[in-house]
């Protein structure tokens, strides 16, 4: 079986870190992933890295959530990161899982905006890259398996 080749998620994160405050604010102001298409900063980060439509949408999801997820080097996925610090209501997480696009991503971004989780960006990015029913379920499982006792 062929090994899946992922984009360099950390290069995207470092490009985000290098942005000035104004362009970062542009990305924070968008309310829906599709609104990114009207923001010049999105294209600076995206810079034609994808050719297939599904890859372009995956980059939109990554850049939509990127401003609110802090990177750490620990092996902490997004679900586990949501159990730390400010508590996330189970109901809110189930809203994400039960919603369809783009509302699922909008709901998830609201959660990460509130919590500002510290997760391993590469692990979190893989979840967002393949955002589908399976990755939503994995997020939920990661959340529940890492609940504080």
Hey, where are the domains in the chain?
9-145
pLDDT for residue 50: 72
What fold, for 9-145? Answer: Peroxidase; domain 1 (1.10.520)
Any idea what the Cα angle at residue 117 is, between residues 25 and 92, rounded to 5°?
A: 95
Contact, 19 vs 41, CB < 8 A?
yes
pLDDT range class, residue 4, cuts 50, 70, 90: low
Assess whether pLDDT exceeds 70 at residue 93: yes
Give pLDDT tens digits for 110-140. 999 999 999 999 999 999 999 999 999 999 9
| Whole-number CA gyration radius for the chain | 15
A 10 A CB-CB count for 18 gives 10
Give pLDDT tens digits for 21-66. 999 999 999 999 999 999 999 998 987 777 788 888 999 999 999 9
């Amino acid at each position: 079986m062929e090994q899946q080749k992922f984009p360099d998620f950390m290069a995207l994160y470092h490009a985000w870190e290098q942005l000035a405050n104004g362009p970062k604010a542009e990305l924070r102001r968008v309310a829906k992933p599709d609104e990114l298409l009207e923001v010049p900063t999105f294209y600076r980060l995206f810079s034609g890295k994808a050719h297939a439509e599904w890859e372009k949408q995956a980059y939109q999801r990554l850049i939509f959530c990127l401003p609110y997820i802090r990177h750490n080097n620990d092996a902490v996925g997004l679900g586990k990161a949501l159990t730390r610090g400010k508590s996330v209501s189970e109901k809110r997480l189930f809203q994400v899982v039960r919603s369809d696009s783009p509302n699922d991503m909008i709901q998830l971004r609201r959660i990460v905006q509130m919590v500002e989780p510290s997760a391993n960006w590469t692990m979190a990015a893989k979840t967002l890259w393949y955002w589908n029913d399976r990755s939503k379920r994995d997020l939920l499982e990661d959340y529940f398996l890492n609940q504080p006792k």
